[in-house]
């Protein structure tokens, strides 16, 4: 599982305050903790600051990179903020989170990723709004993939996000997401998928149980990336179980390691 650590997001109260106060230590600690707990990318989001987003995003990238070699996922639809962040980012290629088929977003972000080694999350969203069915999602996924490939973005750098919608709104939304993941991984061999899963349980109680079970099923359907809290032990346990049951854990070594670390108690 390719984990995109989601904790450095200005919309979270503690992080928003840390950014405003330029509290380097607070941000660096959250970055280091996520890297130590298995994050493959550290998401940085300063979206609430609007006009100052380029400055704050740049400051976030610098502070994350002060404590870890794990690359950033630059989480913004604002091309100025992304370019400012990319200008200071060092080392392994970062991720852009995220492009979509919405006209403005597509036209603003495509030139940034074209012909580069940047990773890119591509949302199954267009100006027609949220797709409702597997077919709707696949039509958008097809346009996203072809559009990116034509601009020399490598297939293995694309992370398609089919967008999770709440079960409480429609009982079919879980399977529609899961079947889309299966079709994407079958149709575009070598591509990645990624998403935030927690929207599935919106409006329901005891959400963590739903989120974990959904993760386990999604892995069996082919999901290989997630935007999540890498310090969530229960979710890491669910991922470990999903990967073992899906045949992705040689000799159950990762499962046994997680068991010895106390993840199943």
The residue whose two tokens read 């069996």 is 220
* CA atoms of 1 and 248, how far apart (whole Å): 10
Is 88 or 220 the residue whose CB approaches its own copies more closely?
A: 220
For 94, the token pair is 């970062």
Q: What are the residues whose beta carbons fall under 8 Å from the beta carbon of 216, sequence distance 6 or more?
A: 238, 239, 241, 242, 245
In the set 41, 56, 188, 214, which binds its own copies (CB under 8 A)? 214
Say whether residue 165 binds its own copies (CB under 8 A): no
- CA separation for the pair 191, 221 (Å, rounded): 14
Of the pair 110, 220, the CB lying nearest its own copies is at: 220
In the numeric block, which tokens belong to residue 262? 């106390």
By CB under 8 A, tell whether 233 contacts its own copies: no
- Number of Cβ within a 10 Å radius of residue 165: 19
Q: Choose which of 48, 110, 112, 213 interacts with its own copies (CB under 8 A).
A: 213
Enter the tokens of residue 264. 């199943």
* Binding piece for its own copies, criterion CB under 8 A, among 15-23, 34-42, 76-84, 233-241: 233-241
> Phi, psi at residue 250, to the nearest 5°?
-60, 125
Asked if residue 247 binds its own copies (CB under 8 A), the reply is: yes
Indicate which single residue of 86, 122, 178, 227 sits in contact with its own copies (rule: CB under 8 A).
Answer: 178
| Residues 96-115 interacting with its own copies (rule: CB under 8 A) | none
Binding flag, residue 200, its own copies (CB under 8 A):
yes
On the question of a cis peptide bond just before residue 98, with omega within 30 degrees of 0, the verdict is yes
| Distances 131 to 7, 101, 139, 162, 166 between C-alpha atoms, Å | 27, 12, 9, 9, 13
The only residue of 32, 48, 112, 220 in contact with its own copies, by rule CB under 8 A: 220
Count of residues engaged in binding its own copies, rule: CB under 8 A: 37
- Contact residues for its own copies (CB under 8 A)? 167-168, 171-172, 174-175, 178, 200, 204-206, 209-210, 213-214, 216-217, 220-221, 237-238, 241-242, 244-252, 255-256, 259, 264-265
């Amino acid at each position: 599982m390719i984990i995109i650590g989601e904790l450095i997001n200005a919309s979270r109260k503690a992080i928003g305050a840390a950014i405003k106060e330029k509290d380097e230590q607070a941000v660096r600690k959250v970055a280091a903790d996520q890297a130590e707990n298995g994050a493959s990318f550290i998401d940085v989001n300063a979206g609430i600051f609007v006009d100052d987003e380029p400055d704050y995003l740049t400051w976030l990238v610098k502070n994350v990179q002060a404590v870890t070699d794990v690359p950033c996922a630059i989480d913004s639809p604002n091309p100025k903020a992304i370019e400012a962040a990319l200008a200071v980012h060092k080392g392994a290629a970062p991720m852009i989170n995220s492009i979509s088929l919405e006209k403005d977003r597509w036209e603003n972000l495509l030139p940034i990723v074209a012909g580069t080694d940047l990773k890119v999350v591509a949302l199954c969203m267009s100006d027609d709004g949220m797709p409702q069915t597997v077919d709707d999602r696949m039509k958008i996924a097809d346009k996203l993939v072809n559009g990116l490939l034509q601009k020399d973005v490598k297939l293995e750098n694309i992370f398609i996000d089919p967008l999770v919608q709440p079960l409480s709104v429609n009982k079919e939304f879980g399977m529609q997401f899961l079947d889309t993941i299966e079709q994407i991984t079958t149709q575009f061999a070598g591509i990645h998928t990624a998403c935030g899963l927690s929207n599935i349980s919106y409006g329901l109680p005891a959400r963590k149980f739903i989120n974990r079970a959904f993760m386990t099923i999604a892995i069996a359907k082919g999901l290989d990336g997630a935007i999540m809290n890498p310090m969530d032990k229960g979710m890491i346990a669910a991922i470990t179980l999903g990967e073992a049951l899906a045949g992705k854990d040689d000799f159950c070594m990762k499962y046994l390691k997680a068991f010895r670390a106390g993840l199943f108690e």
